[in-house]
């Protein structure tokens, strides 16, 4: 399978695992920043470089929960209004757990869930640059990670359709 399946660093399976672990860790770091900033407004994260490059400002904005949409639809205190980085943790864990399967159906699920993550990234990148007018290196890292995962999952899906 891996001779025919696209990869970025080692091979498709290990690359998918590696990028999903990176994504999980970046999401965990984001959660840490959000929690510390909410409990200590004076907290300065390592990724807070200046007033226009501040991940803690972005990660504590109204768009950092439910993509800024859930609070409009269901209210700020809705159980559905969870942190975006928490969704990221679930996404990467989902990708890791399903990544052990060699099923063509699972390959399709991984691929299509990656497309959903990219749609979320495009939306959040728009918010980041044009609404918040900020640069969040942690956020941008997740965009690249999700792009790599999409490519790897697409390669896996194509190989699965060919019968590996």
Tell me the pLDDT tens digit for each residue of 78-104: 999 999 999 999 999 999 999 999 899
Do the Cβ atoms of 110 and 99 come closer than 8 Å?
Answer: yes
C-alpha distances in angstroms, 75 versus 22, 82, 83, 101? 32, 11, 14, 38
Tell me the pLDDT tens digit for each residue of 94-133: 999 999 998 999 999 999 999 999 999 999 999 999 999 9
Segment 11-29 shows an average pLDDT of 98
Do the Cβ atoms of 151 and 8 come closer than 8 Å?
Answer: yes
In order of start, what are the domains of the chain with their CATH numbers?
12-161 (1.20.1440.130)
């Amino acid at each position: 399978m891996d001779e025919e399946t696209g990869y970025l660093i080692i091979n498709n399976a290990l690359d998918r695992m590696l990028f999903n672990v990176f994504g999980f860790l970046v999401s965990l770091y984001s959660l840490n920043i959000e929690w510390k900033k909410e409990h200590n407004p004076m907290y300065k994260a390592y990724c807070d470089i200046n007033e226009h490059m501040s991940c803690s400002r972005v990660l504590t904005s109204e768009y950092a929960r439910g993509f800024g949409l859930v609070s409009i639809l269901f209210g700020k205190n809705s159980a559905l209004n969870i942190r975006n980085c928490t969704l990221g943790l679930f996404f990467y864990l989902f990708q890791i757990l399903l990544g052990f399967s060699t099923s063509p159906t699972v390959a399709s699920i991984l691929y299509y869930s990656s497309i959903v993550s990219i749609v979320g990234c495009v939306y959040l990148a728009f918010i980041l640059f044009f609404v918040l007018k900020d640069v969040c290196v942690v956020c941008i890292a997740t965009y690249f990670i999700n792009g790599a995962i999409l490519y790897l999952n697409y390669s896996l899906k194509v190989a699965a359709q060919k019968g590996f």
